Structure 1
Amino acid sequence: MAVQNLKPNVNSSSSIHNADLIKSVRDKNLKSLLARQKLHLVLDLDNTLLHSNPMIKLTKYDRDYLQRSGHNDHWVTKLRPNAETFLKEASALFEFSILTFGTRKYARKMLKLLDPEELYFANSQVIAREDIRSKPLKKGFDLVLSHERVVLVVDDIKEVWEDDNAKNLIKIAPYKFFDDESSSKKSWSRNWADESEKYGELARVLRELKKTHKEFYNIEDEQDYESRDVRDVIEEVKRKFLLQGTKEGTSKHAKEMINEIDECFKSMGLNCRTNGPNVIVQTNHMVM
Structure 2
Amino acid sequence: MAVQNLKPNVISSSSIHYADLIKSVRDKNLKSLLARKKLHLVLDLDNTLLHSSTMLKLTKYDRDYLQRSVGVKLIEEKKLFQWNFQRNDSVTCLPARGRNDHWVTKLRPNVETFLKEASAVFEFSIFTLGTCKYARKMLDLLDPEGLYFAHSQVITREDIRSKPLKKGLDLVWAHERVVLVVDDLKEVWKDDNAKSVIKIAPYEFFDDESSNKKSWSRNWADESEKYGELARVLRELKKIHKEFYNVEEGQDDYESRDVRDAIEEVKRKFFLQGTKEGMSKHAQETINEIDECFKSMGLNCRTNGPNVILQTNHMVM
- Whether these two folds match at TM > 0.5 is yes
Q: 1:113 to 1:12 in 2, by over 3 A?
A: closer
Measured on the aligned residues, the alpha-carbon RMSD in Å equals 2.4
- Give the aligned partner of residue 132 of structure 1: 160
- Give the aligned partner of residue 99 of structure 1: 127
Flag the structure with larger Rg. 2
For the pair 1:123 / 2:151, whether they are aligned, the reply is: yes
Q: 1:207 to 1:68 in 2, by over 3 A?
A: closer
Which stretches in structure 1 are left out of the alignment for 5+ residues? Answer: 258-288
Q: 1:11 to 1:246 in 2, by over 3 A?
A: same
Count matched residues: 256
- Give the aligned partner of residue 253 of structure 2: 224
Once the 2 structures are TM-superposed, how far is the Cα of residue 75 of structure 1 from its aligned partner? Answer: 0.9
Q: Check the 8 A contact 1:149/1:230 in 2, yes or no.
A: yes
Q: Distance in 2 between matches of 1:104 and 1:180?
A: 25
Q: Check the 8 A contact 1:81/1:197 in 2, yes or no.
A: yes
Relative to the length of structure 1, the TM-score reads 0.82
Counterpart mapping for 1:1-288 below 5 A: 4-9=4-9, 14-67=14-67, 72-73=93-94, 74-219=102-247, 221=250, 223-245=252-274, 247=276, 248-249=278-279, 250=282, 252=286, 256-257=316-317
- SS state of the match for residue 130, structure 2? coil
Once the 2 structures are TM-superposed, how far is the Cα of residue 89 of structure 1 from its aligned partner? Answer: 0.2
Which stretches in structure 2 are left out of the alignment for 5+ residues? Answer: 73-91, 95-101, 288-313
Percent of residue pairs bearing the same amino acid type: 83
Once the 2 structures are TM-superposed, how far is the Cα of residue 11 of structure 1 from its aligned partner? Answer: 12
- SS state of the match for residue 148, structure 2? coil
Q: Distance in 1 between matches of 2:174 and 2:127?
A: 13
Higher RCO (CA < 8 A, seq sep 6+) = 1
Once the 2 structures are TM-superposed, how far is the Cα of residue 236 of structure 1 from its aligned partner? Answer: 1.2
- Residue range with higher mean Cα deviation, 202-211 or 13-22: 13-22
- Which deviations, in whole Å up to 9, do the C-alpha atoms of 1:108-148 show, x marking residues without a partner? 11011111111111110000111111110000012201100
Q: Distance in 1 between matches of 2:275 and 2:224?
A: 25
Q: Distance in 1 between matches of 2:41 and 2:110?
A: 17
Once the 2 structures are TM-superposed, how far is the Cα of residue 183 of structure 1 from its aligned partner? Answer: 1.1
Q: Distance in 1 between matches of 2:116 and 2:274?
A: 29
